[in-house]
Chains A and B, each alone.
Chain A
């Protein structure tokens, strides 16, 4: 059995998957398309090979996982990997081939959002700056070293990125409307809301898992980064439907 988790980066997929590791049947395969630069990992890291595998081989791989009735395999696919099997990177203007296949397969699909897109964008930039996420070094978008003081360019970049993330999610959600086995949730409802524990338990129940553990909330930040200019972001978002992000 398979559950495919679709989300943008820094949406809490890893933290969420860890909540289910207490179940013997649960196998977290992680980001199977994540490029870890040749580091050793699980055998499915073969999908990281420079030569992109075909959608047929991917289908064979999923069939192999489905043939194991004793385990539930958690596959984490990020939005930027959805166009992996398309000859041209269409972005998300057209339904990516991979997404269409996932709808066709009908495996359980979890679409995870970050309802506060601005916090998600800040998290991406912060992780990039500290070098613990995808790119190396604390380099800002303009090539300069990111500092622990308020930065207008970085704040504007975060607002822009938040809009991109929001649009990406809406596009994927729209494409997935015809999926017959879809669960849509968001980071906040899983980790920040008072009903978070119940929400995680409900998700576990949906996946057929018997054990749902508490998340490690120490790694979940609820503050704005030091470089984030909240007043400037409020000015940019003032009067729009997204103004609440800085509330």
Chain B
């Protein structure tokens, strides 16, 4: 098995570096879809199969092309409540995430969607090839957090929430002591 140190994300992706541990090759993850710049909904795909991440495959997508997600960036609880109220009523076309990356290969997906984490994340739980999801700066209301955790548990995901970030990992990937 390859040395996991070879599998680090590039330095310009420091915002996602804390998810390294979950995306180790021995965790069974073969691909990760990573969103790097807040507000610019662009995904990069990285292969964890054999080589270090020098062979980036750039997949570009836009979950909600007409929505300026950057404007939704905010940190206070009031702002989060506003975001939760606002984006729920928007009906916008979503690019199917299954179009990104190779289907049926395990993926760890990192989202930084500025208030859109809740519904996108919830839609990913039912995909069999998603083994982990990281939500950066997860801007969710309390109600959304609770519902997302419920959905995660029902779909077999373990979760860990910090002040801003959230990680969901398929329970089958956890060791017995971690569960």
A residues sitting closer than 8 Å to B (CB atoms) are 152-153, 156, 159-160, 163, 166-167, 232, 235-242
Contacts and interface: CB of A to CB of B under 8 A. Distances in A.
Contacts of B146: 159, 163, 236-237, 240, 242
Nearest to A157: B150
Interface in B117-151: 142-143, 145-147, 149-150
Contacts of A166: 143
Nearest to B77: A241
A244 B145 CA distance: 15
A136 to B, nearest CB: 26
Chain B contact residues, majority secondary structure: helix
B145 A240 contact: yes
Contacts of A242: 142, 146
Given A163-B147, A241-B142, A242-B146, 12 more contacts: A152-B153, A156-B153, A160-B150, A166-B143, A167-B143, A236-B146, A236-B149, A236-B153, A237-B146, A238-B161, A240-B145, A240-B146
A135 B149 CA distance: 28
B154 interface: yes
Interface of B: 142-143, 145-147, 149-150, 153-154, 161
Contacts of B154: 153, 156
Contacts of B142: 240-242
A38 B148 CA distance: 41
A160 B154 CA distance: 11
B147 to A, nearest CB: 7
Contact of A156 (B143, B150, B161): B150
27 contacts: A152-B153, A153-B154, A156-B153, A156-B154, A159-B146, A159-B150, A160-B147, A160-B150, A163-B143, A163-B147, A167-B143, A232-B153, A235-B149, A236-B146, A236-B149, A236-B150, A236-B153, A237-B146, A238-B161, A239-B145, A239-B161, A240-B142, A240-B145, A240-B146, A241-B142, A242-B142, A242-B146
A152 B156 CA distance: 12
The 3 closest A-B pairs by CB, nearest first: A240-B142, A236-B149, A156-B150
Contacts of B150: 156, 159-160, 236
Contacts of B143: 163, 166-167
A239 B140 CA distance: 12
Contacts of A235: 149
Contacts of A237: 146
B137 to A, nearest CB: 15
Nearest to B158: A235
B82 to A, nearest CB: 16
A51 B146 CA distance: 39
A13 B149 CA distance: 32
Contacts of A240: 142, 145-146
A167 B144 CA distance: 12
Nearest to B141: A240
Contacts of B149: 235-236
B155 to A, nearest CB: 11
A159 B146 CA distance: 8
A152 to B, nearest CB: 7
A232 B147 CA distance: 14
Nearest to B145: A240
Nearest to A156: B150
Contacts of A156: 150, 153-154
A158 to B, nearest CB: 10
A215 to B, nearest CB: 31
A120 to B, nearest CB: 15
